[in-house]
Chain A
Amino acid sequence: AQSVSQHNHHVILSEAASLELGCNYSYGGTVNLFWYVQYPGQHLQLLLKYFSGDPLVKGIKGFEAEFIKSKFSFNLRKPSVQWSDTAEYFCAVNLAAGNNRKLIWGLGTSLAVNP
């Protein structure tokens, strides 16, 4: 069955620390990959996505993610976090082919950045 695993459920960092959140998927076929963010009290927003091409994708607010096909991974990174990055981060995957693009989600990683 298709699944998405996020290894870190809760992460606590100090400002300026580097961030890496793991995401692995189990999905047959060519996939699209996404990271969404949910700030406290706000709705889900797209952080970045990978459809094809350069496996290193850059998103908003200094985030980037690298698609490593051989490892079925799409880890999210940021070199220096800020207090405002405190949020819930979700990795999601869907099939690149076909009409049904329903997303399969990881359980999310709660990030708290201490000022």
Chain B
Amino acid sequence: GAGVSQSPSNKVTEKGKDVELRCDPISGHTALYWYRQSLGQGLEFLIYFQGNSAPDKSGLPSDRFSAERTGGSVSTLTIQRTQQEDSAVYLCASSSGTQYFGPGTRLLVL
């Protein structure tokens, strides 16, 4: 596709369950970013992938959060044992200079 896509668009889960969020970047973009957008807050950087380099995980809020990027393309963000404070919109962006954003996954943890 022409843009960044994310799935699912919405996810409702129960506290304590694991969730996986998917991001398909723009073809050819070597950099991929995950951000979190909470109500009334700015965007919070989570993790960054660049080519085959080790990812920058400095923004992950806890060890319950992890992400991988397979084959330098699709990325999955996993949240284990979800908590209510994990509720937010999770945004993925890909870049070859300027970051272009996907529509986000709205996560609600009950």
Chain A residues within an 8 Å CB radius of B45: 102-104
Q: Mark B81-104, 1 if CB is under 8 A from A, else 0.
A: 000000000010001001111111
Q: In residues 48-73 of chain B, which contact A (Cβ within 8 Å)?
A: 48, 50, 53, 56, 59
A-B interface contact total, Cβ < 8 Å:
49
- Assess A103 versus B43: contact at CB under 8 Å? Given A43-B103, A43-B104, A44-B91: yes
Chain A residues within an 8 Å CB radius of B23: none
Q: In residues 24-53 of chain A, which contact B (Cβ within 8 Å)?
A: 34, 36, 42-46, 49
Closest chain-B Cβ to A79's Cβ sits at a distance in Å of 25
A42 to B103, CA, bound (A): 7
Chain B residues within an 8 Å CB radius of A100: 48, 50, 56
Q: A105 near B: Cβ within 8 Å?
A: yes
Q: In the bound complex, do residue A105 and residue B100 qualify as a contact, i.e. CB atoms below 8 Å apart?
A: no
Q: In the bound complex, do residue A102 and residue B33 qualify as a contact, i.e. CB atoms below 8 Å apart?
A: yes
Q: In the bound complex, do residue A101 and residue B91 qualify as a contact, i.e. CB atoms below 8 Å apart?
A: no
**Complex partner residue of A43 from B42, B56, B59, B101, CB under 8 angstroms:** B101
Chain B residues within an 8 Å CB radius of A104: 45
Chain B residues within an 8 Å CB radius of A105: 35, 42-44
Q: A90 near B: Cβ within 8 Å?
A: yes
A36 to B99, CA, bound (A): 10
Q: In the bound complex, do residue A90 and residue B42 qualify as a contact, i.e. CB atoms below 8 Å apart?
A: yes
Chain A residues within an 8 Å CB radius of B104: 43
Chain B residues within an 8 Å CB radius of A43: 91, 101-104
- Assess A102 versus B59: contact at CB under 8 Å? Given A43-B101, A43-B103, A46-B98: yes
A100 to B43, CA, bound (A): 17
Using CB atoms, name the residue of chain A closest to B46. Answer: A102
Q: B79 near A: Cβ within 8 Å?
A: no
In order of increasing CB-CB distance, the 6 nearest A-B pairs are: A105-B42, A44-B101, A105-B43, A43-B103, A107-B42, A102-B45
Subset of 11 A-B contacts with CB under 8 Å? A43-B101, A46-B98, A46-B99, A90-B42, A99-B50, A99-B53, A101-B95, A101-B99, A105-B44, A106-B42, A107-B42
